[in-house]
Structure 1
Amino acid sequence: MTAEIVIINQHGVAMAADSAVTIGNQKIINSAIKLFSLSRTEPVGIMIYGSANLLTIPWETLIKLYRKNNTSQLNNLKNYGEGFIDYLNSQLHLYSDEQQNHWAESRIRDIYNYIIEQIRRELTELQTKGASIDDSVINTHTESIILEYLGVLQDNIQIFQGEIDQAVIDRINTISAPLIEMIFPFTSSKPSIRDSLARVAQLSIFNCSPINSSGIVIAGFGELDIFPSVITYEIYGVFNNQLLYRIREDKTIINENSRYMRSDIIPYAQEDVVRSFLDGIHPELYKYAMDFTEKTIQQTLADPLLEFKNPIDIKVLSKACADSLKQEIERYMTSNLLSPMLDMITALPKDELAGMAEALVNMTAFRRKMAFSSMETVGGPVDVAVISKGDGLVWVKRKHYFPGELNTHFFENYFK
C-alpha cells in the first residue's frame, strides 16, 4: 500500500510519495521508489501506486526505458500521457501468452476468493442466529452473492477495447474452469451457478475491477501549456495482446484554457486521512452515519402507531429523508471546509505546495503508525518534487539507494 499526493495550482504542481511497499500480507519494506521524472529535460513527472509491476516487469523499468527512448518535446500533457500509453502498447511483445494467461488466472482467482469469503461470512452469520444450513441455503446465498457481483462488474466501464469474439471467451473459460472446480466444488450439480461464475470471470477481464491494478499519475507541462495538468490512469494488465486500462476522470485535471485554472488536492491509494483533513470527517464515519440515519428513519416510519403500513412507502420515504440529509451535509462540507481550503491552495507558492504535499503523506503515515489494529502500510522517506513552467521538475526531497559521492558517473551519464 502507499500514500501519494498531487497538489496543483497556477504556479505548478507538487507530487509526494511515501516509500512503503507490502510484500505478501505481512512484510513491509520502506525503500520503494514511486516518483520519477518522465523526461530528462521536460517538466513532467510520473508516480505509481497499487501494483508495482505490469505483469512481471517493474514499472520503474518501463518508465526508465520510456524516458531513455523518448526525448522529444510534446505540445501538452495529454500528449505525454498518450505517448506513454502508446509506448506500453508497443512493448506488449515482452509478455508471452503464458504470462498473460497467468495474469488472467490470478485476477479471476482473487475475485473468486472474494466471493467465497462473502459466502462464508453470510453463512456464518446465519449459523450464529441459529438457522440450519443445508445445500439449499448454501446454493441460494451463493447464487445471490454471485449475481450481485455480476451486477457490479456489468455496471463498470469496459476496458477491453478489441473484439470480444468466441475465441477470447473460450480462452477465459479454459482459465476459469479449474478455478471454479477448486474454489466452488459444491456447485458441481448446479450448472446455472457455474455459468454465472464463468460470466464473472469474463467480465473481470472485459471490465475494470481495481483488484491488483496499477495507478499511473502523470503531471506537469507540455511545451504549449501555460498551466499544469494531471492525468491519472488505472492499468489492469495485458490480455489477448491488449493493454487493459482506463483514465480516472475523477483524478484528472486538464488546464488547457489559459483563462481558467483549476486548483486541487488529489490523494491516491490510502486516501482516508487526507479526505478527513479536507472534508472534516473520516470517510468511514461519514458512511456509517448515513447508513445509521437511513436505518433509524426506516425503523421509525415502521412504527405500528404511524399510518405508513406499506413497506415500499416506508423504504422510499426513509431513503428520501437520508438522501436529503446527505445532500445538506455534503453542501456544508464543500462550502465551509473544502472550498476555503482550495481557495488557499490557489495562492500557495511552490515551496509551500511541496511542504503541504509532504505533510499530508506524513499525516497518513502517522495515522497508520498509531492504529493498533493495522499494519504500517505508509511510511519511510517521502520523495517530493515540484514542477513549474520556468524551473522544470525540481526535487525537494529524494532518496537514493546509493551514495551520490561514490557514483558521480551516474549523474554524468544521466544526460548523455
Structure 2
Amino acid sequence: MTAEVCMMNRLAVVLAADSATTVSRWVNGEKEERYFKGANKIFQLSDHYPVGLMIFDSADILQVPWETVVKCFRAHLEKKPFNTVEEYAQELFSYLSDNPRFFPESVQTDQLLRPVRSEIFGWLAQSKEAEAAGGNQRDRLDQIIAERREVLDALEMSPCLGQELAEKIVVDHREAIEKTIADLVSYFECDPPSDIAAAVETAFLQVLKHPEDHLSTTGLVVCGFGDHEIFPAMVEYVSCGIVAGKHLHIKKSEKALDHDNPAWLSAFAQTEMTDTFNLGLSYPMYAQLMITVTENLAEFASQVATASGGEIAAIDDLDSLVQGAKDKIGSAVLPIPMKPPLCSEMIAPPVSGMISPPV
C-alpha cells in the first residue's frame, strides 16, 4: 500500500510518503514485480529553487530508477529558474524525451511492442471462444477488430505523440507485428484477420490512445514555488514511459493557492488513511457499509410484505426502491462521494519533506 500526502499553505509545501515501492521487470516474457521498503519517493527537483517531486506506483521508468533520473535532471537544470511549477514539470518531460542515454531505442521498442502483441493475443483468444461455441472464428475476429477501431477512431491521439508520429510508429513496426500475427495464428490454429493491415493499426492505436492502461506507469506530483508564483502550486501527472523518443504523460489534477484559498491537503495513491482522517471512514469501510445496507433493506422489505399479508413479488421495481433508499442512507452517512483506492502494496515507515520559498 502506497500512501502519500501533499499539504500546502501560503508559506510552505509538505510532502509525506511511506517508503515502500514497486519495481517491475520482464523475465522470459512475464512481468515480475518486486517490493522494497526503503525507497525514496520524495526528491528536490532543483538544487537552487523550492520545487519538489513525489512519485508513486512504479519506482522506475523503462528500468531506469526515477531517483537516478532526478539527480541527473538537477545537474542539467543547474541554476535555471522557471516561472511556474507547471513549467518545471514540462522541462523534466522535455529532458526525458529524445534521451537515448537513458532510454535506448531497443528498450523503447520492447516496451511498446509487448502490449501490442498482448492485444492481438487477446483478440485471437476471444475469436477461438466464439468458434468453440459454434460460431465462425474469423467473422468474430473481424467483428472484434472493427468494434475496437470504431471506438478508437473517435478518440484524439495523445498530444505527446501527435498523429504524424503515431502513423510513423505503425509503419516502422508493422513487419514485426505482422510476424506476431502469423505466429499466433499458428499457435491458435485459426484463421488470421481478413485485413491484416487494419488489425496491426488497430492494435497500435489501442496502446497509443490508452497508454495508461497498457504501459508501465508512475504517478508524478510536482509542487513548490515557481519563480513568479507568490503562493505554492501543485500539478499531478501520470508518466507512461517513452515511446518513439517522446515521454508520454497525462495531466490528472492541479492546484494553486491564492488570496482566497489559504491551504490545501490531498492524498495520492492509497487514500484510506487520509479519508479516515478527513471524513471519518475509509472507502473499504464505506463500501462494506453500503453492501450491508442493501442486503438488509431487501430482506426488510420482504419481511414487511409478509407481515402485512402482501406479496413481495408484486413489487415490480423492488431493486430500484432498495437502491434509492440505499443512496439516501449513503448520502446521509457521507455527503462527499468517495473513490476506491488504487494500490495494494505493503505499507512501510513514512518519510516526509518540506518545501518553502527562499527567505
TM-score by length of 2: 0.70
Return the offset for 1:271: 3.5
Matched residue, 2:334? 333
Q: Could you tell me which residue of structure 2 aligns to residue 260 of structure 1? A: 261
Rounded Cα–Cα distance in structure 2 between residues aligned with 1:324 and 1:226: 48
* SS of 2:234 mapped into structure 1: strand
What residue is the counterpart of 1:248 in the other structure?
Answer: 252
Q: How does 1:371-410 map to 2 (within 5 A)?
A: 377-389=345-357
Q: Does 1:163 align with 2:167?
A: no
SS at match of 1:260: coil
* 1:219 partnered with 2:228: no
TM-aligned CA distance change 1:209 to 1:111, over 3 Å = farther
- Counterpart in the other structure of 1:208: 211
1 or 2, which has the higher helix percentage?
1
Q: Which residue of 1 aligns with 2:16?
A: 16
In proportion to residue count, which structure has more strand? 2
Aligned to 1:84: 92
Unpaired runs of 5+ residues, structure 1, are 124-131, 309-313, 339-363, 369-376, 392-416
Whether 2:128 is the aligned partner of 1:136: answer no
2:234 corresponding residue in structure 1: 230
**Equivalent residue number for residue 29 of structure 1:** 36
Aligned length: 328
How far apart are residue 262 of structure 1 and its match? 5.2
8 Å Cα contact 2:6-2:15 kept in structure 1: yes
Deviation at 1:45, TM superposition (A): 1.0
Q: Are the aligned partners of 2:98 and 2:246 in contact in 1 as well (CA < 8 Å)?
A: no
How big is each residue's C-alpha offset from its partner over 1:291-344, in whole Å with a ceiling of 9 and x where there is no partner? 9959x99xx9xx863567xxxxx9xx94x9858965873585246x99xxxxxx
Q: Which amino acid aligns with 1:386?
A: M
Does the 8 Å CA contact 2:290/2:326 hold for their aligned counterparts? no
2:314 corresponds to which letter in structure 1?
Answer: L
Q: How much identity, in percent, do the aligned residues show?
A: 20
2:93 is paired with a residue of what secondary structure? helix
- Whether the aligned pair in 1 keeps the contact of 2:157 and 2:208 (CA below 8 Å) is no
Return closer, same or farther for 1:51/1:134 CA change in 2, 3 Å cut-off. Answer: same
- Does 2:110 match 1:102? yes
Give unmatched runs, 5+ long, in structure 2.
26-31, 303-311
User: Kindly tell me: are residues 148 and 292 of structure 1, through their superposed partners in 2, closer, same or farther at Cα, counting changes over 3 Å?
Assistant: farther
Aligned equivalents of 1:229, 1:192: Cα separation in 2: 52
Q: Give the counterpart letter for 1:258 in structure 2.
A: H
Deviates more, 1:144-153 or 1:79-88: 144-153
The structural deviation recorded for 1:42 is 1.5
Question: What secondary structure does 2:135 align onto?
Answer: helix
Q: Distance in 2 between matches of 1:227 and 1:16?
A: 20
- Residues 166 and 46 (structure 1), Cα distance of their counterparts in 2 relative to 1, 3 Å cut: closer
- Give, in angstroms, the shift of residue 67 of structure 1: 0.7
Question: Which residue number corresponds to residue 283 of structure 2?
Answer: 282
